Chains A and B, each alone.
Chain A
Amino acid sequence: MFNKKTGLLVAMIMIFAVLLVACQPETVEVVKEVPVEVTRVITETVTEAGESMEVTRVVTEEVVVTATPEPAAPVSNAAPNPGTYTTITFGDPDTLDPNLAYDTASSGVIMQVMEPLIWYNHKDATSYIPILAMEVPSLDNGLISEDGLTYTFNIRQGVTFQDGGTLEPHDVAYTFWRGLLQSDVNGPQWLWLEPIMGYSTCYDITEGIDPECGLAGDPTAVQAADPDALAAVCEQVKAAVVPDDEAGTVTFNLAQPWGPFLATMAGFSYTLDQEWTMAQGDWDGDCATWQNFYSPGAENSVITDKINGTGPYILDHWTPNEEYVLVANPNYWRAEGDPMWEGGPSGVASIDTVIVKNVNEWGTRFAALQAGDAENVTVPLENYTQVDPLVGEICDYKTDDCVPSDNPDGPLRVWSDLPSVSRDNVFFNFGVATDESGNNPYIGSGQLDGNGIPADFFSDIHVRRGFAACFDYDTFIAEAQNGKGIRNNGPIIQDMLGYNPDGPYFEYNLDVCADELSQAWDGVLPDTGFRVQSAFNTGNTTRQTVGEILQSNLSQVNPNYQVETVGLPWPTFLRSFRAVQLPLAVSGWIEDIHDPHNWVQPFTVGTYAGRQNLPDELLSQFNDLVTAGVLAADPAEREQIYYELQQVYYDTAIQIPLSQALTNRYEQRWVQDWYYRVGQFSSYYYAMSLATE
C-alpha cells in the first residue's frame, strides 16, 4: 500500500512539474564549450647528439572549443491570415451615433466607417487634409473670412454612402443641426456649442431658451417649453450652418472667431446621410419637432447600433461586449493612386476584415498574442515586462525606425513611449465651500489648530509653492507610472503648440518646501501644523499615490504637517469637487481636440478654475490670455501668448501639473504601416496592411 501511495504522489508531482516546466519561458542555448579532437602537423627543431635538426610530426590532441549553433532560419514575418486583422482589447463602444459618441471605443469604430470633412495629415496633428471637403479652408484660399467668423467647405462630389445614398451638402448641415439640437449631456456637442452658438454657460442648446440652465439635460422640460422659443432656437442653428446643394457648399457662421475650429472639425464632423437617418426613425429636420430628439442618451438614439458612412470600412456586425467586425468597403470612393496623404493608402482597404474583440481578462489576451491569434492586444502598463521578452524589434513612432531587441527573433514589435494625451494634476482650492455653520467634512476643524485648515488655506501662495516643492516627481513617475511618464511644466502637454520646454518646472526640494511653508500664514504653520485631506476617486491608484507622496514628504518636513488621502466614489468625488468642497483634489483631463485651447481653458478659466474657486484677479489674468490665444489665427502669435500663460501659471502655482503617461503598443511583426499620431486613440486600419511573405 505504501508503495502505491508513494507512486501516486510521485505521479502527481510529476504532472505538476510537467505543467510548470511547460509554462517556463523557452531558453535558447547560444554557445557551448565542447571537447574536440584535433590533428596537427608540427615542425620543430630538435637537438640530437649536439646537432640540431628539423623534424615534422603529426600529433593528435583534445582541445575545448566554443561551439556556436547554426544560425536559426530567419523568423517568418508572414501573416498567417493576411486578409484578417484581429485586435483584442477591453472597453466596448458606447454608441455608433456620431453625434453622441464621446468615448474612445465608439470613436474607434466610427472613424473606420464614417468620414469627417477634414482630417489630420497622417502623423501630423497640426496640419489637415481634406476628406469629404474638397480643400481645407484657410485665409489664403478665401474659405475663411477675414474676421474669422465664416468658414466655407466645398463638399466633395461623387461620394456615396454605404447604403447607396449620395453625399450632399445638406447631409453635412443636417449632421451638425442634429448634433447641436441634441446637446446630449454625455456627448461631445459642447465643443461646437461655444464656437457656433456662443453658448458657454450651460454648454447646451437650451441656453438659447433659458440662460439659467434650468432646461439643460431635461428632455421632459424641453418638450414642455414654449414652441415658439423652441422653433426660434432651431432656426438660429440652421442660420449658423447653411448648406447650398447647388453650389456644393456648407457655410459655418460662427458666433465668435475660434482658433481650434479646424481641429474640432477634424475630430467631430463625421457625416450622416440625412435620408438614411430619417428612414431609421430619427429627426426629419423640421424645427417643429426637434425637441422630441433632444438629449436622447445613447439608449434612445435609433442609430445607436447602426452605422452608415462613406468610409473605407463597413460594419459587418456588432455584438455588444463581445466583438465588432468591419469589412472593406468594395465601393469606397477614393480611387487607386489617389493617396490620402503623401505615401498614404488609396483605393479599397488592403485588409479585408478587421475583428475587434472585447476581452477583459489580461491572461486571455496575452495567450492570444502568444498563440499568434491576435495581431495586437491591449497591454496594461503593469504587464509590459511580461510581454517584453517576446519583442523582436523596437520602433520609434516619430521616425518609424526599428532596431532589433535583445531577442531579435522575438515574434513581436513594440512601439515604445507613445505619449498619451491625458494628465493628472493636483488642484488647490482657494476658498473651500462650507455650510452655514462654517463646516466642511474635508477641512477638519476649519482652523489652524493642527486638526484642520481654514477654508482659504491654499489662497496663500507660500502654501501652494510649499506643496509643489514637497512633491517627489521622479518617485511618482517611477512608482505610479512604472517609470513611463514625461513631466509637464504648465497646463499644455509636451510637443503641442504653446508648450515651452524651456519654461521653469516645480522642483522637488524638501528644504524649499519647509522654507515656503514657514513663510505661509504669518509663519505659524511650523508650530500649529495642519491637517488636510487629499481626495481622489476610488480605484484610481495613480491618483492615490499622489496623495500618499505628499503625505509622506510633508510629514517628513514637519510631523505637524498632515495630509490624509481620501478615496471617494467617482460621482461623490465629482459632486464634492464641483461644489468646491475639496481642499485638495487629484484629478485629470483627456484632450478632446489636439489644440492648446483644450488644455488652457479648463485648467485656468473653465472647469477646474471654478472648482478651485480661483479669485477674480487671477481668473481675469488667465482669461485675457486664454481669450487672446483662442482668437489669434497666427500660430506664432498663439505660441507667444501661451508661453506667457505658462509663466503666469508657474508664478501663481495654482496647480501642480504632473506627468503624461507614456504607453507601448505591441503587435505581431507581420503588421505593416501602423502609425501613431499624438491624440489618436485607435488604429486607422485603412492605412495598414499585413505582410504576406
Chain B
Amino acid sequence: MTAYIIRRLLVLPIILIGVTLLIFAMLQVLGPVERSALYVRDIPHSETALDAVIRRYGLDQPFYKQYWYWLVGRVDPETGETVGGVLRGELGYSRTGREPVVDTLKRRIPMTVELAIWSMIPIVFIGIWLGIKAALNHNKWPDQLARVVAILGYSFPTFVFGLLVLLVFYARLGWFPPGRLSTEFSQEILKPGFVNYTQMVSIDSLLNLRFDIFLDSLRHLILPVVTLSYLSWALLLKVTRSSMLEALRQDYVTTARAKGLSEKVVVNRHVRKNALIPVATIAGTTVAALLNGVVITETIFNLPGIGSAAAAAALSLDVLTMLGFALFTAALFILVNLVVDIMYGVLDPRVRLE
C-alpha cells in the first residue's frame, strides 16, 4: 500500500508538467496580439502601447522559451538575479487578481474549502441516507419522493435555483444574506484581536470563541450550501439507490436472509458496504469538484473562492493565473483519486492495491 501511494505521488509532478505544457501549447493558437488583451485597455491613447506590452511580457517569444521562463524563471539583465519560476515557488503576477498568483490561491482556497466542508455534510448524509431509504422502500412513497427530489435536483440549473433562493430568502425575507459576513463582522475579523488561523471564518470564529461571528457566518453560508448540496446530493442519492438495489438482488443477500439474519443485519453488514464502492467514486469526484471551486454558486452568493477567480482569469486570458489554477486543480484531482483508490481497499477487502 505504501509503495503504491509513493508511486502515485511520484507521478504527480510529471502530470503537472504535462497539464501546464498542454495549456501553454493550446494558448499558442492565439497570437501575441490576442494574448496582449489582458494588458491593453480599450481605447489606449498611446499608439506604441500594444507593441510595448508584447515586448515587455515576452508574448512574442517562442512557446518553449515562455514555458521555460515560467518553469525555472529568467535572469534579470540589470541585477543578474533570477526572477520568477514555478520551481522556485513563484507563479508570477496575476493581472486579474492584482497580486502574485500564489497570494490569490492562498486567499481564495480557504473560502472554497469552507464551502466544500459545509456542503459535504448534507451531500453525504442526506444523499446516502435518502438513497438507502429509497432502495429499502423500493417503489413505496419514500422511494417515489426520493426520485422526484433527485430529478428536480439535477434538472434544476444552479443559477436559477441560486438566484431564486437569493431573491426569496434575502431580498424578500432578509434572512440569509450573500457574502461571507455582515458588514460589522467583516470589519471585526480584520482587527488585531481576531486571529485568522485557517482563513475560514466559520472555523476561525469558533477558535476565537466568537459565537456571534460564527452564527453570522453560518447565516451567510446557508443559501450557498443549500444550493450546492441540493444539486449534489440528488446525484449521490440516485447512485446510492441504484447501487443498493443492485446489491439487494445479489445471491449472497438471499443467502443471508435464508440463514435467518435480521433485515437490519443483512442491510448493514452485507448490502451497504458493497453498495458504497460506486458511491465513494462519486463522492470523491464531488469533493474534488467542490474544492476546485464552483463558479456559479460563488458568483451568485459573492463568495471569494477560487472558482470565480479562475473564471475571471480565463475570461481575461490571464495565462499565469490560469496556469496557477491548473496546477492546483491537477494536484487536487490526483490526490482525491488516490484517496478514493485507498478507500476502495478499505470498503472492499477484495480490492488490493498492489
Q: Which A residues form the contact surface with B (CB < 8 A)?
A: 1, 4-5, 8-9, 12, 19, 22-23, 81, 84, 86, 92-95, 102-103, 185-186, 190, 202-204, 213, 216-220, 223-224, 292, 295, 297-299, 304-305, 316-317, 319-322, 325, 353, 355, 357, 359-361, 363-364, 366-368, 370-371, 373, 537, 569-572, 574-575, 578, 587-590, 592, 602, 607, 610
- Whether A355 contacts B166 by the Cβ 8 Å rule is no
Beyond A320-B98, A363-B300, A610-B47, 9 extra complex contacts between A and B, CB < 8 Å: A1-B141, A8-B141, A185-B48, A203-B48, A213-B48, A304-B98, A316-B187, A317-B190, A588-B43
Give the distance in Å from the alpha carbon of A682 to the alpha carbon of B141 in the complex: 59
Residues 292-335 of B, flagged 1 when their CB comes within 8 A of A and 0 if not, give 00000001111010001100100000000000000000000000
Residues of B within 8 A of A325 (CB): 187
Give the distance in Å from the alpha carbon of A357 to the alpha carbon of B182 in the complex: 12
B49, B93, B148, B190: most-surrounded residue (chain A CB, <10 A): B49
Q: Which of B45, B56, B140 contacts A297 (CB 8 A)?
A: B56
CB-based closest 3 A-B pairs: A217-B52, A367-B171, A370-B171
- Whether A186 contacts B177 by the Cβ 8 Å rule is no
Residues of A within 8 A of B98 (CB): 92-95, 298-299, 304-305, 320-321
Instruction: Tell me if B121 is interfacial: C-beta within 8 Å of chain A.
Output: no
Instruction: Tell me if B24 is interfacial: C-beta within 8 Å of chain A.
Output: no
- Whether B33 contacts A371 by the Cβ 8 Å rule is no
Q: Which of B39, B41, B177 contacts A371 (CB 8 A)?
A: B177
Instruction: Write the chain A residue with the least CB distance to B163.
Output: A363
Residues of B within 8 A of A574 (CB): 40, 44, 50
Give the distance in Å from the alpha carbon of A366 to the alpha carbon of B45 in the complex: 35
- Whether A366 contacts B312 by the Cβ 8 Å rule is no
- Whether B93 contacts A299 by the Cβ 8 Å rule is yes
Residues of A within 8 A of B44 (CB): 185-186, 574
Instruction: Tell me if B95 is interfacial: C-beta within 8 Å of chain A.
Output: yes
How many whole Å from B296's CB to the nearest CB in chain A? 9
- Whether A81 contacts B183 by the Cβ 8 Å rule is yes
- Whether A363 contacts B52 by the Cβ 8 Å rule is no
Q: Which of B178, B183, B187 contacts A364 (CB 8 A)?
A: B178
Residues 23-62 of B, flagged 1 when their CB comes within 8 A of A and 0 if not, give 0000000000111110111111111111111011000000
Instruction: Write the chain A residue with the least CB distance to B149.
Output: A12
Known: A320-B99, A361-B299. A366 touches B145 (CB 8 A): no
Known: A23-B164, A220-B77, A366-B171. A320 touches B190 (CB 8 A): no
Give the distance in Å from the alpha carbon of A177 to the alpha carbon of B144 in the complex: 75
Residues of B within 8 A of A304 (CB): 98
Residues of B within 8 A of A357 (CB): 179, 302
Residues of B within 8 A of A321 (CB): 96-98, 304, 309, 312
- Whether A569 contacts B37 by the Cβ 8 Å rule is yes
- Whether B78 contacts A292 by the Cβ 8 Å rule is yes
How many whole Å from B228's CB to the nearest CB in chain A? 16
18 contacts between A and B (CB under 8 A): A5-B141, A186-B53, A216-B46, A220-B78, A299-B93, A305-B98, A305-B99, A316-B187, A319-B107, A321-B98, A360-B308, A361-B299, A363-B166, A364-B178, A371-B171, A569-B37, A570-B37, A574-B44
Q: Which of B158-212 contact A (CB under 8 A)?
A: 163-164, 166-168, 170-174, 177-179, 183, 187, 190
Number of A-B contacts (CB under 8 A): 172
- Whether B55 contacts A218 by the Cβ 8 Å rule is yes
A297, A364, A570: most-surrounded residue (chain B CB, <10 A): A364
Residues of A within 8 A of B43 (CB): 587-590
How many whole Å from B226's CB to the nearest CB in chain A? 13
Instruction: Write the chain A residue with the least CB distance to B38.
Output: A571
Q: Which of A217, A292, A299 contacts B48 (CB 8 A)?
A: A217
- Whether B50 contacts A355 by the Cβ 8 Å rule is no
Instruction: Write the chain B residue with the least CB distance to A366.
Output: B171
Give the distance in Å from the alpha carbon of A666 to the alpha carbon of B107 in the complex: 32
- Whether B41 contacts A578 by the Cβ 8 Å rule is no
- Whether A572 contacts B48 by the Cβ 8 Å rule is no
Residues of A within 8 A of B51 (CB): 217
How many whole Å from B172's CB to the nearest CB in chain A? 6
Residues of A within 8 A of B96 (CB): 321
How many whole Å from A324's CB to the nearest CB in chain B? 11
Residues of B within 8 A of A363 (CB): 163, 166-167, 300
Residues of B within 8 A of A569 (CB): 34, 37
Residues of B within 8 A of A364 (CB): 166, 178, 299-302
- Whether A23 contacts B301 by the Cβ 8 Å rule is no
Give the distance in Å from the alpha carbon of A366 to the alpha carbon of B167 in the complex: 9
- Whether B45 contacts A607 by the Cβ 8 Å rule is yes
Residues of A within 8 A of B55 (CB): 217-218
How many whole Å from A306's CB to the nearest CB in chain B? 13
- Whether A23 contacts B183 by the Cβ 8 Å rule is no
Residues of A within 8 A of B178 (CB): 364, 367-368
Give the distance in Å from the alpha carbon of A218 to the alpha carbon of B52 in the complex: 6
How many whole Å from A598's CB to the nearest CB in chain B? 10
Residues of B within 8 A of A371 (CB): 170-171, 174, 177
B49, B97, B98, B172: most-surrounded residue (chain A CB, <10 A): B98
How many whole Å from B161's CB to the nearest CB in chain A? 10
- Whether B166 contacts A578 by the Cβ 8 Å rule is no
Q: Which of B37, B45, B144, B166 contacts A203 (CB 8 A)?
A: B45
Give the distance in Å from the alpha carbon of A693 to the alpha carbon of B300 in the complex: 33
Q: Which of A292, A295, A361, A570 contacts B42 (CB 8 A)?
A: A570
Residues of A within 8 A of B163 (CB): 363
